[in-house]
Chains A and B, each alone.
Chain A
Amino acid sequence: RKEVEQDPGPFNVPEGATVAFNCTYSNSASQSFFWYRQDCRKEPKLLMSVYSSGNEDGRFTAQLNRASQYISLLIRDSKLSDSATYLCVVNPGSQGNLIFGKGTKLSVKP
């Protein structure tokens, strides 16, 4: 089983749509969780951290279910500029290294 698994997509949605991405991780001892955004041929940029209590940042909502080892990202009212690859990222322990999923590609169409 891969350490971090995501549906690669692509998700093709119209502007204004709500879209949800899911991610599962294999290491139950993982300590912290993130969603990163990566534009084509660019470095990943932190979108938001993910907490068990759930957290929201504008149109973006992230959820963590530790029991199911499952992470989600919800994007409401999609914009054209949201088109990118969304990476589910897990920090498995104290060493600080990050484990990346392959990413889910989102394409928002006018």
Chain B
Amino acid sequence: GAVVSQHPSWVICKSGTSVKIECRSLDFQATTMFWYRQFPKQSLMLMATSNEGSKATYEQGVEKDKFLINHASLTLSTLTVTSAHPEDSSFYICSAAGPAKPQHFGDGTRLSIL
């Protein structure tokens, strides 16, 4: 089956640090990648949708200058949390979809900002 790799799986860093999370589709071309965030005991919330080669579309309330998304190739999208603060601590999950391919999720990245 389709595999989506997300890295790193766990990050702990100081407040003010920028953190980059990678999402790779290993065996199919992901024309669209989605970034979700899940706070404890909450549902997954879509942050942004990115199509390869174009700018990401952000959901209402998500700061595009804080959460930088790059989808430069059909197999890689990155999310950079710039100047992260404790309130950004969350579980970040990417998913990838391609032609005739439903969404497949990465393993998620647990981000803890001290």
Contact = CB atoms under 8 A, between A and B. Distances in A.
A associates with B: yes
Interface of A: 4, 41-46, 87, 95-103
A4 B97 CA distance: 22
A41 B9 CA distance: 11
B91 to A, nearest CB: 7
Nearest to B45: A100
A contact face: mostly helix, strand, loop, or mixed = loop
Q: Chain B: interface residue count, which band?
A: 20 to 34
A42 B108 contact: yes
B43 A87 contact: yes
A96 B108 contact: no
A98 B38 CA distance: 13
A4 B41 CA distance: 15
A102 B108 contact: no
Given A42-B107, A43-B93, A43-B105, A101 B34 contact: no
Contacts of B93: 43-44
Nearest to B10: A41
A91 to B, nearest CB: 9
Interface in B88-112: 91, 93, 95, 97, 102-103, 105-108, 110
Interface of B: 32, 34, 36, 41-46, 49, 91, 93, 95, 97, 102-103, 105-108, 110
A102 B40 CA distance: 10
A96 B49 contact: yes
B76 to A, nearest CB: 18
Nearest to A34: B102
Given A43-B107, A45-B105, A96 B44 contact: no
Contacts of A42: 107-108
13 contacts: A42-B107, A42-B108, A44-B44, A46-B102, A87-B43, A96-B32, A96-B34, A96-B49, A97-B34, A97-B46, A97-B49, A98-B46, A101-B43
